[in-house]
Structure 1
């Protein structure tokens, strides 16, 4: 990788540092909790339920109201509008529970006090009388109880599944349990509301979806959207956890601010944040796969049971996307995939990096693994035998033709560059001569569809101002959560105008600048906002071109945009000079840009369409060592080759790939969510929930971009999305651990490890192999 370019000189496709990087390191980056609070700022804290499912017989708030520093208490009765912050049409997610609670940790009221400490202490003084109701904790319990659905299911089907299964010489039947994951953002949920005159309120929210927060606050306060301004400068991590989960906190802060006409801030403790906010959906996938003696898959029939939680939230689209990725990179001649989004008495699960895609993919890798061990083959051979074709065998379960398939080349290049075959043989040799320590190695592919499957979200706006001195103001609808979106869009603008990045002022995202924005999610932030900003620049450049031709008396075709300004015939004019002369000649130097993704369409009722604009590809090789006496293991080496098209910023993209892989590895190995039999989440703090540490990063970690790749679609700079696809590269760790476990049974039995593959699960897998071997 080339040395990073100085930020003031960077252009598009250059490896440029993050615009806030030095501020992150020095602690000068301003987050919401760093903002100077106006005199009289109030603080809110939530009162949470201590039952997973119960009728509320009575709530005694007298002690809460009488506590030192308490200004008042908010309940459902204090809401002038609708008591709901659900992102779905079901309107099934109340701010404050009324009549009954449906999960342990559900908000019932909010305390408003002079200090945060006073509000937090007072919230625990409530006295609640409950009448317990039966609670449903997980997927299997929900299925046993009749399978109440939290939202509408989806079915994808192509080909004759029954005939394919009946004719298949071999069958792989089973189930895989796939664990959830907490977002564990460094900056927790937080909102800060400042009341204005009339109905106005300004909300500073740590959210990936400012326009949805605007909608929710307006809905709760019973006012129009134009009275609510939501501002987001940066988030300390999001990962999907701030796509819908910030709605409640913003609504509570705004309610209090308008009721008492004072600024109000709410920031929960990490324990309460983890208990009261949604997580990655855990799945149980039941499958029946037919295949032949060569390992070629003939038919797939699978049901994807999903722990939805108590309300719909984003469970519908998440479970849909799991089905969209039930194929990963593999072609199924016949396939039927059905979602089962189930009601449970847990917090409603929500968006998380990959948005269901990882769960769909890991299930596909499970049956590939089953086939490989049944046939005594390297799983990589089974993967290759089932890859999508480039001219035929390239229609997905949702009837979209895969037109940009490069998975063969990506896998072949990584197989060679990682020396996979020789290393696999070395692993086999090692395992033959070692009884306690066992090694494993695996190479897994990724094919990930890019676009929101809710087609209307595939739009973006931007606002670009050019001032008289040539400086540029940039606003767009995307939000910055550390992923480098702001710097990428700024590079687009700098490249468009031929100026240095230090000419561009990156502004906070604001609903007052760009309306009706989509969430920064689905890996589409750069695709959408980069193109919207480019459109705004193109409008201004067109006006400036006409102006320059008139001013310097040449044809418009003779005006050439070059680095630093323009050439009008033989005359070079700096961008600043051009802007100044344009102002004097009354040329508009501002533009609102817009972009909508072309070619996409989706009919959910029929399960057919072209929901994805393109696919991003990648592959990874992981090598592990397992201690079969304890189940403990280390990841020794990881090699990655990933496709980001023509990278807008290789430095940022490499960082996204590295971070995505490690976060994916955490989901699949150490991050375990545990609820007790009373329905309380027990893994609700860093002391009980284990994210990967710096020491968990593989000592050998080789990450390369597929630099030859260029998006065949006209995306911004011919780049591809990079936010979510790298997350799924971590599947190779699970497959490598599986090989190490299977070696104990001489590779005759599929390891079938559920996730997360904790040391305990590895040890149980080892013992299963020993029993099967008869030792």
Structure 2
């Protein structure tokens, strides 16, 4: 029976899904404990469990392994070593410089030599501790100073120059020199690294991996097992946090589990406990800096020489692009006319450091903000005024040192607005009065901006695919190559698709990321998850909508441009039909109700050898005003108040975006205040548990924590007029560091540089105050 079309009525105008603060798609399941992570998946009968065998020394020859004591324990099934890798014994990483398992030498304390496979997790871990490696120690390089002296690098140094920095320094009215060390940071994801490898029929594999990059896991596993990529399927519904730590290094777990599963012929699960996770996996790259700057009476930079040395650990991993992005962001928001930058990628006998939120950007931003803070103190000027004087401007002053024009700069408007809303000038006067009255407790305040480039610096990763399926009941399923790690990616993609099809958000479901559905997907990283996957899903939905519009046009004799999809209805000049009715009629008439979508970021290009071009599609901007208190007797500090004004373009989901800004800021605050990594003289990581490594807790959140969104759409044609939000807010926390230096400076009136090693722990603050002379332990710089 054919249903007659409803008479034409005035179109309804329901609220679109985009732009609204919809709850995270998994929020209810997560708070009720019904959201499944890999360790929650039902295990196949016969599953075995693996535990890693770790190197106890930082560097040495590996002659062999004695596993006899481990193999005698009940439940122990096998020991897996480098000789058991059927394919390439080196991981399929970019630099091809990291073994699956240690082969003939160990390169850091915590390197995985092999695995023990047993009937239970406890049996495997107990047995792994009994395995003894026969090693001969070798000298270890444990910090960048040693690496620089020995010219020990994982990749060649990179140099970027513009103008004549030496001549500019020579003619500048004022000059300063300085050094800085910034420590690394542990990712501390709530869900640790985990993989579950299941052999399938006919030489195929299913890998459940907590990864930001399923396509790379697929490639790495296939490479190690000596099979084609199509024989390996990788699936991930969600992660319990990643922050970059699961971009490459989740691949290690997957390869280890798969190699073990192949040897024993059974499914193998490998989940690192927290201590082993700390010891095995890489961190944010620690950096050390030397700089010389020339400037005028207003604090404008005339010339700059900057050397950045990144502690990369024992292998390259992602150190090349991380160090490149530090070079790209060492200008932050400021024009550098005559500049000379040297970037060294130092090899040390520590964990191979890897991606972390900001991906080298924070290490670049903190360098220039430190320099500007010192310039302001040397001149006796307000630091915000000095920062404003150096902002990118118009004409020749809007070209970065890597030759990209800054065409969308909003900081000349954003910073003054934050200055007024945060009452910066009045509070600065009040703080000066406080500091004059108080000799022990000092306060400091600072405003720092952020200009952060959005796109993968490796241009080939700026592409994405998606599938949109419309079922005959009108429900919609979406699959894309991105990974949900708590950041709300699936929620935003569902909102985008719902609006493209004009259906309620509740009718759209985003499913697990799966290499058998969307192949060759890029990592969910670089803040580009929504930009890439959201646009691909939008294009897929648009294709389905076009099919349905053409079908309705055929029914009603109108043009495709006259068809509207909104509020769960399909509206033509002649009839208003329910969405589900149109879908059913279209299916009955053999109209395609599914489609793929593909997107590649436009405009971007750059020369990897010279680091020049346009590596970013656009910039995201923001600024933070931070006030701190410092106890000059103990070094204890506290963040008292934070005001943030941040640019997310036209927000797809304001609630999620504000949450990302808050979380990014607090995580950045942890990097710069409490999260100190310490390696001892033997190269062993001493801070490898929550008892010794301190991330911010709820009590560290400032009492005043205000976040506002900049009210302007992205000037580039990005999905929904939005801007990326994952990484840029992290660098707003540099305001905490600068406010602490302001508080230290309040203890003296000489205008000298404040040398404060980051993180600004109590000990490092006391050293900055001149109350401690020696370091306790060795940090990663």
Instruction: Give the TM-score normalised by structure 2.
Output: 0.96
Q: Residue 86 of structure 1: CA displacement? A: 4.8
- Give yes or no for the alignment of 1:15 onto 2:21: yes
Where do residues 460-499 of structure 1 align in structure 2 (5 Å cutoff)? 460-499=464-503
| C-alpha distance 520-747 of structure 1, shift in aligned 2 (>3 A) | farther
Q: Is the contact between residue 238 and residue 481 of structure 1 (CA under 8 Å) also seen in structure 2?
A: yes
Matches of 1:160 and 1:39 in 2, distance apart? 68
Q: 1:526-548 deviations in whole A, cap 9, x for unaligned?
A: 00000000110111111111111
Aligned length: 760
- Give yes or no for the alignment of 1:453 onto 2:457: yes
Give the equivalent residue in structure 1 for 2:259: 255
Matches of 2:57 and 2:45 in 1, distance apart? 38
Q: 1:715-774 deviations in whole A, cap 9, x for unaligned?
A: 00010000000000000111111111111112622212110000111122223699xxxx
- Give yes or no for the alignment of 1:413 onto 2:393: no
Paired residue for 1:102, among 75, 100, 107?
107
Q: Is the contact between residue 49 and residue 124 of structure 2 (CA under 8 Å) also seen in structure 1?
A: yes
Give the equivalent residue in structure 2 for 1:25: 31
Matches of 2:613 and 2:496 in 1, distance apart? 31
Matches of 2:476 and 2:300 in 1, distance apart? 56
Matches of 1:319 and 1:281 in 2, distance apart? 9
Where do residues 29-108 of structure 1 align in structure 2 (5 Å cutoff)? 29-88=35-94, 90-108=95-113
Q: Residue 235 of structure 1: CA displacement? A: 0.4
Give the equivalent residue in structure 1 for 2:203: 199
Give the equivalent residue in structure 2 for 1:752: 755
Give the equivalent residue in structure 2 for 1:4: none
Q: Is the contact between residue 302 and residue 338 of structure 1 (CA under 8 Å) also seen in structure 2?
A: yes
SS across alignment from 1:120: helix
Give the equivalent residue in structure 2 for 1:718: 721
Matches of 2:64 and 2:598 in 1, distance apart? 52
Matches of 1:281 and 1:533 in 2, distance apart? 34
Q: Residue 582 of structure 1: CA displacement? A: 0.8
Give the equivalent residue in structure 2 for 1:668: 672
Give the equivalent residue in structure 2 for 1:219: 223
Q: Is the contact between residue 527 and residue 721 of structure 1 (CA under 8 Å) also seen in structure 2?
A: yes
Paired residue for 2:765, among 751, 762, 767?
762
Give the equivalent residue in structure 2 for 1:557: 561
Q: Residue 213 of structure 1: CA displacement? A: 0.1
CA RMSD of aligned residues (A): 1.3
Matches of 1:125 and 1:311 in 2, distance apart? 27
Give the equivalent residue in structure 1 for 2:296: 292
Give the equivalent residue in structure 2 for 1:176: 180
Matches of 1:705 and 1:204 in 2, distance apart? 37
Q: Is the contact between residue 331 and residue 394 of structure 1 (CA under 8 Å) also seen in structure 2?
A: yes
Matches of 2:680 and 2:772 in 1, distance apart? 29
Give the equivalent residue in structure 2 for 1:620: 624
Paired residue for 2:145, among 140, 143, 147?
140
Where do residues 118-133 of structure 1 align in structure 2 (5 Å cutoff)? 118-133=123-138
Q: Is the contact between residue 370 and residue 752 of structure 1 (CA under 8 Å) also seen in structure 2?
A: no
Q: Is the contact between residue 366 and residue 752 of structure 1 (CA under 8 Å) also seen in structure 2?
A: no
Matches of 1:769 and 1:376 in 2, distance apart? 26
- Give yes or no for the alignment of 1:343 onto 2:350: no
Matches of 2:404 and 2:191 in 1, distance apart? 39
- Give yes or no for the alignment of 1:590 onto 2:619: no
SS across alignment from 1:188: coil
Matches of 2:97 and 2:685 in 1, distance apart? 22
Paired residue for 2:730, among 727, 732, 735?
727
Matches of 2:562 and 2:479 in 1, distance apart? 31
Q: 1:256-302 deviations in whole A, cap 9, x for unaligned?
A: 22333321100011001111001000000111111112211011111
Give the equivalent residue in structure 2 for 1:525: 529
Q: Is the contact between residue 182 and residue 759 of structure 2 (CA under 8 Å) also seen in structure 1?
A: yes
| C-alpha distance 9-207 of structure 1, shift in aligned 2 (>3 A) | farther
Q: 1:500-528 deviations in whole A, cap 9, x for unaligned?
A: 11111210000011000000000000000
Paired residue for 1:365, among 369, 385, 409?
369
Matches of 1:193 and 1:244 in 2, distance apart? 17
- Give yes or no for the alignment of 1:113 onto 2:118: yes
Give the equivalent residue in structure 1 for 2:645: 641
Paired residue for 1:611, among 602, 608, 615?
615
Q: Residue 177 of structure 1: CA displacement? A: 0.3
Moved over 3 A (4+): none
Q: Is the contact between residue 763 and residue 772 of structure 2 (CA under 8 Å) also seen in structure 1?
A: no
Where do residues 424-435 of structure 1 align in structure 2 (5 Å cutoff)? 424-435=428-439
Matches of 2:554 and 2:354 in 1, distance apart? 55
Give the equivalent residue in structure 1 for 2:699: 695
Matches of 1:16 and 1:561 in 2, distance apart? 21
- Give yes or no for the alignment of 1:313 onto 2:317: yes
SS across alignment from 2:203: coil
Q: Is the contact between residue 463 and residue 474 of structure 1 (CA under 8 Å) also seen in structure 2?
A: yes
Where do residues 205-284 of structure 1 align in structure 2 (5 Å cutoff)? 205-284=209-288
Matches of 1:188 and 1:722 in 2, distance apart? 24
Paired residue for 2:549, among 539, 545, 550?
545
Instruction: Give the TM-score normalised by structure 1.
Output: 0.97
Q: 1:59-115 deviations in whole A, cap 9, x for unaligned?
A: 111122222101111111111101222531x21111110111000000001111111
Matches of 1:391 and 1:505 in 2, distance apart? 47
Give the equivalent residue in structure 1 for 2:7: none
Q: Which runs of 5+ in 1 are unaligned?
A: 1-7, 771-775
Matches of 2:257 and 2:436 in 1, distance apart? 62
Q: 1:445-479 deviations in whole A, cap 9, x for unaligned?
A: 00000000100000000011111111111000000
Give the equivalent residue in structure 1 for 2:3: none
Matches of 2:96 and 2:75 in 1, distance apart? 34
Q: Residue 10 of structure 1: CA displacement? A: 6.3
Matches of 2:559 and 2:618 in 1, distance apart? 39
Q: 1:481-512 deviations in whole A, cap 9, x for unaligned?
A: 00000000000000101111111121000001
Q: Residue 343 of structure 1: CA displacement? A: 0.6
> Which deviates further from its counterpart, 126-135 or 113-122?
126-135
Give the equivalent residue in structure 1 for 2:779: none
Q: Residue 135 of structure 1: CA displacement? A: 0.2
Q: Residue 605 of structure 1: CA displacement? A: 1.6
| C-alpha distance 647-390 of structure 1, shift in aligned 2 (>3 A) | farther
Give the equivalent residue in structure 2 for 1:773: none
Give the equivalent residue in structure 2 for 1:5: none
Q: Is the contact between residue 551 and residue 586 of structure 2 (CA under 8 Å) also seen in structure 1?
A: yes
Q: Residue 170 of structure 1: CA displacement? A: 1.2
Matches of 1:386 and 1:443 in 2, distance apart? 14
Q: Is the contact between residue 47 and residue 108 of structure 1 (CA under 8 Å) also seen in structure 2?
A: yes
Q: Is the contact between residue 503 and residue 566 of structure 2 (CA under 8 Å) also seen in structure 1?
A: no
Q: Is the contact between residue 337 and residue 401 of structure 2 (CA under 8 Å) also seen in structure 1?
A: no
Matches of 1:386 and 1:568 in 2, distance apart? 55
| C-alpha distance 249-769 of structure 1, shift in aligned 2 (>3 A) | closer
SS across alignment from 2:153: coil
Matches of 1:593 and 1:483 in 2, distance apart? 22
